[in-house]
Amino acid sequence: MKIIKGTWLFDGTGEVYQEHAVVIKDNRIEAVLPWAELPEETGAEVIFVPGTMVMPGLIDSHIHVTSSGAADPTRERLEAQPLQTLRGADVARTLLEHGFTMIRNCGSSNGNDIALRTAVERGYVLGPRILASGMCITMTGGHGWMGGRQVDGPHEARKAAREQLRAGADLIKIMATGGVMTPGVEPGSAQLTIEEMKAAVEEAHKAGRKTATHAQGTEGIKNAILAGLDSIEHGIFLDDEVISLMLDRGVALVPTLVAPYHIVRGGVEAGIPAYAVEKSKKVIDAHTRSFQMALKAGVTIAMGTDCGTPLNVPGKNALEFELMVKAGMTPLQALIAGTGTAASVCDRKEVGTLAKGQLADVLVIRGNPLDDITLLQDKANILRVVKDGKIAITRG
Ligand SMILES: [Zn+2]
């Protein structure tokens, strides 16, 4: 048994307690209690560092685990698949070291994220829990086609979804619009049709899996929602109609504000391809505005980074919390987006919150991130990372 005491305890749903502790038995949370109610003599291992917050492990709902965040990702995409998978192992360890105990991978070439997920589960490599999408499904020449499964027509879309499920995908990733990182396509333009997406979504849902959609332009976002997609990734050009559809149908937004931030900030000087820089500059303001509209309207928002895009390197993920706060979230809302809400958007409700019966993914953070959200960006402040009841990382 382990008892992890915090000066503060954030439970992942919005409650913050003073002087509480998490009691862990095997890989599950046995109780969340005030210090005063802890059993006296248990023989348990007690972890307590004064001035720390105990909270659920962080969850990044949109990531590309096999990419390093190189300024120009083209070269990595063409590398041999085993090398891509091994790079993913390095990224996975880095993410765990930074407090991320679960990630949702939204597209890898050849499905190497699926192999990586299994490798982590079996203990071959150290990493967060990984939800793997396998290859993203895109139209011929559509966004992400270089590493994606290109389809035309509902029949092929259905088959592509079935292929990912056969390979062991945890979710299906579908491209509804153009995007920044593929030359020759525009973020604003719609790509796969409603009928094509519907076929893929149907297969995912039949198999009990969720779907995520790369959707940036308004028309494509609307198509994705009408096709039954479960989450809108990026959501750059939202409008009132789209937002009310999202609210009606319970569709979540994973904004990934940090993706264009790094591209615009680094620019071509950093080696980022000019097409990506130009497109990011065009969309970055609309992206923030859409996030703010969704937040105000009460759309479910989960934290995700698109880690792996240019300069969006593993370990910098927690910058997204700061950007979400700068754009209007309270620090508490941002933390919920990266814990409890992310878990439910990822369809893994057994993590993301601290409560009896939950899987024990727990962090000990030096300081109180609700006073300073940037604390989470420095791994020196992440004193313990507990994953599945075991201490994975110890510092300080
Ligand atoms: Zn992405």
Q: How far is the CA of 32 from the centre of ligand 1 (A)?
A: 36
Is the pLDDT confidence value at 78 over 90? no
Exposure letters 283-305 (e unless 16+ CB within 10 A, then b): bbebbbebbebbbeeebbbbbbb
Mean per-residue pLDDT over the chain, rounded: 97
Mean pLDDT of 186-207: 97
Residues 6+ apart with CB under 8 A from 146: 74, 77, 78, 109, 182
* Triad 213, 216, 222: Cα angle to 5°: 70
**Per residue in 233-245, pLDDT tens?**
999 999 999 999 9
Q: How far is the CA of 201 from the centre of ligand 1 (A)?
A: 18
Please report, rounded to a whole number, the percentage of residues in the chain having pLDDT higher than 70.
100
Please report, rounded to a whole number, the percentage of residues in the chain having pLDDT higher than 90.
94
Query: If you classify domain 58-345 with CATH, what class do you get?
Result: alpha beta
Q: How far is the CA of 62 from the centre of ligand 1 (A)?
A: 6
Q: Contact 255/221 with Cβ under 8 angstroms?
A: no
Is the pLDDT confidence value at 144 over 90? yes
pTM of model > 0.85: yes
Is the pLDDT confidence value at 357 over 80? yes
Residues 6+ apart with CB under 8 A from 58: 98, 99, 100, 101, 303, 317, 318, 338, 339, 363, 376
Q: How far is the CA of 352 from the centre of ligand 1 (A)?
A: 22
**Per residue in 126-137, pLDDT tens?**
999 999 999 999
Q: Contact 194/157 with Cβ under 8 angstroms?
A: no
Q: Residue 27: what pLDDT?
A: 98
**Per residue in 98-126, pLDDT tens?**
999 999 999 998 899 999 999 999 999 99
Q: Contact 195/189 with Cβ under 8 angstroms?
A: no
- Reported as half-sphere exposure (CB side, CA atoms, 13 A), residue 267 has a value of 2
Measured CA to CA, the distance from residue 44 to residue 32 in angstroms comes to: 15
Q: Residue 114: what pLDDT?
A: 98
Is the pLDDT confidence value at 41 over 80? no
Query: Position of tokens 């959609």?
Result: 213
**Per residue in 257-307, pLDDT tens?**
999 999 999 999 999 999 999 999 999 999 999 999 999 999 999 999 999
Q: How far is the CA of 18 from the centre of ligand 1 (A)?
A: 37
Q: How far is the CA of 8 from the centre of ligand 1 (A)?
A: 34
Q: Residue 390: what pLDDT?
A: 98
Q: How far is the CA of 304 from the centre of ligand 1 (A)?
A: 9
Mean pLDDT of 310-339: 98
Measured CA to CA, the distance from residue 242 to residue 255 in angstroms comes to: 15
Domain boundaries, the chain: 2-56+352-394, 58-345
Q: How far is the CA of 198 from the centre of ligand 1 (A)?
A: 20
Is the pLDDT confidence value at 39 over 90? no
- Reported as half-sphere exposure (CB side, CA atoms, 13 A), residue 159 has a value of 8
Kindly state which CATH superfamily the domain 2-56+352-394 is placed in.
Urease, subunit C, domain 1 (2.30.40.10)
Mean pLDDT of 9-28: 97
Q: Residue 341: what pLDDT?
A: 98
Q: How far is the CA of 143 from the centre of ligand 1 (A)?
A: 10
Mean pLDDT of 169-186: 94
What are 76's two structure tokens?
A: 């990595």
